Amino acid sequence: MASKGIRDRVAVVAMGCTTFGEHWDRSTDDLLVDAVTECLAGGALTPDEIDAYWLGTMTSGMSGLTLSRPLAIDHKPVTRVENFCATGSEAFRNACYAVASGAYDMAMAVGVEKLKDTGYSGLVRPPVASDGTSADLTLTAPAAFSLLDPAYCAKYGVDPAAMREAMTHVAWKNHVNGARNPRAQFRKAVPKEKIAGSPLVAGRLGIFDCSGVSDGAAAAVIVRAEDAHRYTDRPMYVKGLSLIAGPGSGPIDPGYDYTTFPEVVASAADAYAQAGITDPATQISLAEVHDCFTPTEIVLMEDLGFSPRGEAWKHVLDGAFDLDGRLPVNPDGGLKSFGHPVGASGLRMLFECWLQFRGEAGERQLDNPTLGLTHNLGGRPGACVSFVSVVGKELSAA
Amino acid sequence: MTLGIVGYGGYLPVHRLAMADVAATLGSGSARGSRVVASYDEDSTTMAVAAARGALAGRRTEALWFATTNPAYAEKTNATAIHAALGQGALGFAVDMAGSPRSGAGALRAAGAAGGLAVLGDVRVGLPGSADERDGADGAAAFLFGPAAEALAVPIAHSSTSGEFLDRWRAPGEPAARSWEERFAVEMYDPLINEAVAAALAEAGLSAVDHVVVSGPHTRAVSAAATRHGAAEVLPLGHAGAADLGLRLADVLDRATPGQTVLTVSAVDGADVTVWRTTERVGSTRAGVRAQLEAGRAIPYATYLTWRGLLDREGPRRPEPERPAGPPAARNTDWKFAFVGSRCDKCGFVHLPPARVCASCRTVGQMTATSLADAVGTVVTYTVDRLAFSPSPPTINAVVDFDGGGRSLLELADARPDEVAIGRRVRLTFRRMYTAGGVHNYFWKARLMEVSDGQ
């Protein structure tokens, strides 16, 4: 990997995050105002101090005006970015690099999505004129990710019933965690029988195997690390940022087996190298990962190096990634129960690391976490973009 | 130069509608028998492609006549889609003969005279509970005409009569035909058929033939003529419109031995009669019409009505897909219609759709077009999508690896969710994916081999 990284060169000094959910009473503009206002207030900052903005949204608006108009931002650089479901992470990454470059002293990354105004189930991609032959035109996201399930069972000889239990455990865990999160969309633990027996959406995925479709926004302010203590006594340091777009060849390449995301493996290796992480399974204190569908989270445990190949389903069932497990995954409830307003999700993951490092995670507070990982995925198995960040509570010793 | 049939194909969809289901649902009508039903993703064009692939067997044709009473498009030629799906490139003549069932005889006559491919495809729709619904059939047949020396069967005499009388009619846009009193047409057809048969037999110098086929939408007139002219072993298939004559001729060729004579009668607004003589080549290929007819699986009446647009049901809360755009579809005609990908000249990696940069070795611009329309593949993984927009949910999708290279994520046609599994073998079939904005989105689907090879 050619990434040089910006380890410990920038820090997050303020964050904001709306509740996620079906906000029939709030517009995209409202969500942006809410998240940005909370973020600025938390850092006792004024809009004048922000030098540049990166706004992530997949479908809720185009151009920097989507942010500058509702916030009445006064002639500042505002860039709108889009990278599928990794859009929020992409906004954050660009803002971090802008500050690290020295071009700006203070940048804000904002992510927003207003999904519930469409009236559709699940995510909908804006139409692009085409020849009508792509499977993606009609194949839904749950169907695309459900392709992992039979392939994984076949490759590793996993009894489909055991795999179903592992998928159920992922949803169950993330609902248990989300129940402890006042900002989550679904704040109720769900019995395993109900998860396993929920109406089928695609393949063996039932409704409870799918992330929440929601509205929400989140924001972060980034400054140079050496300036961080001017704004907060508990900044969050950026250790590594990796965004990888794969060649998208999985659906045409017989060499791809639908049991892994090569883009995730590559972005994790890149981020770990930047952050100096050699054994993620023991060094990472908490991970916020892209649990869009339950089999995704199982495969991610292997791609991120938390479990050996073919073993994650067992570790999931053993509770390794539960809130009290060896490596808590999605302590805030994840996409599954916190909800998935696309452009906001990457920043929402960082928000949980922010709260956990500051000791502000309430009922789900972990015992002195020091290194957090966020993983954000966009696209489909075999053709996706993957983002991995490593963030830390403290500057590294070396 | 005398021309004859050098290749033929027949296609019957796999779905069947049991009349017992119709009678139980409507509370009236005969509960006997069943009819052949095109799937929701089939139309006269796609079935024509299936039959024509059999007739061509990889050969080229200079001309193509497509006959149907149920064209997928008006104003736009449907034969060009068939021509493209057969991988014929730009060169050649392709024309529709759309309207009445007599178009079937017309396409055969034209191709027989000029040489080329007659393709007959039809979807026959009647109002719920009607005789047309009960007695119709969907399917296609195709005949390639070439030098008599290479033929399986050669026409030795023709004769036609034409009559203008109000038996059956349908205004464009109406879903179903209307007809006059049944006995009226029997009296009109009898002399028209008799005169044409007598003339054709006289021209052929025959007083009797080995096989007789009588085809027409008027059940009583056809059955009377079949009896009078000695038709035995009548194919127990409902009337397949413009494809009917072809399917019955294909069935006779399936069973004929060398040196036999065949009398075909198409009784539609007159009579078109041909006398054929089979050659020693007959039997070298078969369409397997009877085997296809005997296979098949029942679908519920409600499903049938939904497929034909006679029952408007609520869909999922998903947007309807965009209509395919003209320019990209035109740029990608070989891919979209003929499943032509590209193979990297350097490393051999097969790209579906074709690509300019090799996904494996990254070589740029060294690709050779390769058609996988006839390829066989294996299911690698699969899903059943219950959320996707579809005219007939749920859709089944499979990742298919083709023998000899190439992978594609395809919909499965004619399959039930419980039939798909890793390792199942598939072939390709040309289908209508969906219709949006008045545009039919044609592309290829995979079909489980135990289903597709039942023929």
Which DSSP symbol is given to A112? E
Nearest to A146 by CA among A203, A100, A196: A203
Tokens found for residue A170 = 């992922």
By C-alpha distance, the chain A residue nearest B421 is A150
Region of A240 on the Ramachandran plot (φ > 0 left; ψ -120 to 50 alpha; else beta)? beta
Q: What is the pLDDT of residues A86-128, one digit of tens each?
A: 999 999 999 999 999 999 999 999 999 999 998 888 888 788 8
Task: Provide the whole-model pTM.
Answer: 0.95
Quote the pLDDT of residue B452: 47
Chains A and B: how many Cβ contacts under 8 Å?
138
pLDDT, chain A, mean: 97
Q: What is the pLDDT of residues B240-281, one digit of tens each?
A: 999 999 999 999 999 999 999 999 999 999 999 999 999 999
Quote the pLDDT of residue B316: 78
- The Cα–Cα gap between B72 and A242 comes to 50
Handedness of CA A28, A33, A39, A40 (dihedral sign): positive
Residues in chain B closer than 8 A to A207 (CB atoms)? none
Chain B nearest-CA distance from A96, in A, is 32
Of A121, A130, A154, the CB nearest to B316: A121
Q: What angle do CA B362, B367, B368 make, to 5 degrees?
A: 155
- CB-based contact B384 A133, cutoff 8 Å: no
Whether the CB-CB separation of A78 and A91 falls below 8 Å is answered with no
Q: What is the pLDDT of residues B126-163, one digit of tens each?
A: 999 999 999 999 999 999 999 999 999 999 999 999 99
- The Cα–Cα gap between B302 and B40 comes to 12
**What is the rounded average pLDDT of the residues B321-333?**
95
- CB-based contact A150 B422, cutoff 8 Å: yes
Of B353, B360, B380, the CB nearest to A133: B353
Share of chain A above pLDDT 70, in %: 99
Tokens found for residue B63 = 């001309």
By C-alpha distance, the chain B residue nearest A148 is B381
Q: What is the pLDDT of residues B155-191, one digit of tens each?
A: 999 999 999 999 999 999 898 999 999 899 999 999 9
Chain A nearest-CA distance from B139, in A, is 25
Q: Which of A17, A23, A39, A85 is labelled catalytic? A: A85
**CB-based contacts of B328-333 (< 8 A; 24+ apart in sequence):** B328/A129, B328/A130, B328/A131, B329/A131, B329/A132, B331/A131, B332/A131, B332/A133, B333/B84
By C-alpha distance, the chain A residue nearest B320 is A138
Chain B nearest-CA distance from A257, in A, is 8
- CB-based contact B409 A132, cutoff 8 Å: no
Quote the pLDDT of residue B1: 64
What band does B451 get if pLDDT is binned at 50, 70 and 90?
low
Residues in chain B closer than 8 A to A124 (CB atoms)? 318-319
Quote the pLDDT of residue A394: 97
What's phi and psi for A214, nearest 5 deg? -150, 170
- The Cα–Cα gap between B297 and B385 comes to 22
Whether the CB-CB separation of B427 and B402 falls below 8 Å is answered with no
Residues in chain B closer than 8 A to A144 (CB atoms)? 383
Chain A nearest-CA distance from B382, in A, is 6
In SS3 terms, B234-251 reads as CCCCCECHHHHHHHHHHH
- The Cα–Cα gap between B445 and B14 comes to 15
Chain A nearest-CA distance from B189, in A, is 47
Strand pairing report for B297-298 and B15-18: parallel
Chain B nearest-CA distance from A160, in A, is 13
Of A124, A140, A254, the CB nearest to B401: A254
Task: Name the 3-class secondary structure at B295.
Answer: coil
Whether the CB-CB separation of A172 and A179 falls below 8 Å is answered with no
- CB-based contact A119 B331, cutoff 8 Å: no
- 3-state DSSP helix/strand/coil percent for chain B, to nearest 5? 30, 30, 40
Decide if A39 is catalytic: no
**What is the rounded average pLDDT of the residues A320-344?**
98
CB atoms < 10 A from the CB of B416, how many? 12
- The Cα–Cα gap between B103 and B107 comes to 6
- CB-based contact A254 B352, cutoff 8 Å: no
- The Cα–Cα gap between A291 and A171 comes to 9
Q: What is the pLDDT of residues B292-314, one digit of tens each?
A: 999 999 999 999 999 999 999 88
- CB-based contact B380 A151, cutoff 8 Å: yes
Residues in chain A closer than 8 A to B327 (CB atoms)? 129
Strand partners of residue B442: B432
- CB-based contact B383 A129, cutoff 8 Å: no
Q: What is the pLDDT of residues A159-169, one digit of tens each?
A: 999 999 999 99
Tell me: pLDDT of B77 over 70. Answer: yes
What's phi and psi for B185, nearest 5 deg? -70, -30
Of B386, B422, B443, the CB nearest to A202: B386
Q: List residues in chain A touching B: CB distance below 8 A.
A: 119-122, 124, 127-133, 135, 137-140, 142-144, 146-148, 150-151, 154, 200-203, 247, 249, 251-258
**Sequence-separated (6 or more) residues with CB below 8 Å from residue A127:** B321, B322
Decide if A75 is catalytic: no
H-run or E-run covering B129:
none
- The Cα–Cα gap between A175 and A169 comes to 10
Task: Name the 3-class secondary structure at B271.
Answer: strand
Quote the pLDDT of residue A123: 81
User: How distant, in Å, are the alpha carbons of A185, A251, B4, B276 from that of B202?
Assistant: 85, 62, 20, 13
Higher pLDDT, A33 or B29: A33
Strand partners of residue B158: B274
Query: What does R_g of chain B's alpha carbons equal in angstroms?
Result: 22
By C-alpha distance, the chain B residue nearest A146 is B383
- CB-based contact B317 A147, cutoff 8 Å: no
By C-alpha distance, the chain A residue nearest B337 is A133
Tell me: pLDDT of A182 over 80. Answer: yes
Q: Which of A23, A290, A315, A340 is labelled catalytic? A: A340
Strand partners of residue B144: B7, B117
- CB-based contact A252 B380, cutoff 8 Å: no
- The Cα–Cα gap between B197 and B445 comes to 43
Share of chain A above pLDDT 90, in %: 95
Chain A nearest-CA distance from B407, in A, is 4
- CB-based contact A147 B382, cutoff 8 Å: yes
Domains and CATH numbers, chain A: 10-120+215-236 (3.40.47.10), 140-210+237-392 (3.40.47.10)
Quote the pLDDT of residue B455: 37
- CB-based contact A131 B389, cutoff 8 Å: no
Whether the CB-CB separation of A189 and A67 falls below 8 Å is answered with no
CB atoms < 10 A from the CB of B327, how many? 9
Burial B61-78 (b: 16+ CB within 10 A, else e): bebbbbbbbbbbbeeebb
Quote the pLDDT of residue B453: 53
User: How distant, in Å, are the alpha carbons of A116, A337, B63, B287 from that of A33?
Assistant: 18, 23, 66, 69
Nearest to B282 by CA among B147, B156, B153, B154: B153
CB atoms < 10 A from the CB of A161, how many? 9
Of A132, A135, A140, the CB nearest to B409: A135
- The Cα–Cα gap between A124 and A334 comes to 21
- CB-based contact A121 B411, cutoff 8 Å: no
Chain B nearest-CA distance from A146, in A, is 6
Edge-to-edge strands, sheet with B15-18: B34-37, B15-18, B297-298
HSE toward the beta carbon, residue B269, CA cutoff 13 A? 16
Residues in chain A closer than 8 A to B381 (CB atoms)? 147-148, 150-151, 154, 258
**What is the rounded average pLDDT of the residues B210-216?**
97
- The Cα–Cα gap between A210 and A175 comes to 12
Of B319, B383, B411, the CB nearest to A146: B383
Residues in chain B closer than 8 A to A142 (CB atoms)? 385, 387
Tokens found for residue A215 = 């509205």
Q: Looking up tokens 């049901």, which residue turns up? A: B313
Tell me: pLDDT of A172 over 60. Answer: yes
Cα end-to-end span (Å), chain A = 22
- The Cα–Cα gap between B48 and B429 comes to 11
Quote the pLDDT of residue B320: 81
- CB-based contact B329 A142, cutoff 8 Å: no
**What is the rounded average pLDDT of the residues A214-222?**
98
Of A131, A201, A252, the CB nearest to B336: A131
- The Cα–Cα gap between B455 and B139 comes to 13
Q: What is the pLDDT of residues A44-72, one digit of tens each?
A: 999 999 999 999 999 999 999 999 999 99
- CB-based contact A140 B387, cutoff 8 Å: yes
Of B322, B353, B385, the CB nearest to A140: B385
Nearest to A53 by CA among A42, A44, A40, A43: A40
DSSP string, B378-405: EEEEEEEESSS--SSSPEEEEEEEETTS
- CB-based contact B322 A139, cutoff 8 Å: no
User: How distant, in Å, are the alpha carbons of A230, A352, A353 from that of A360?
Assistant: 20, 9, 10
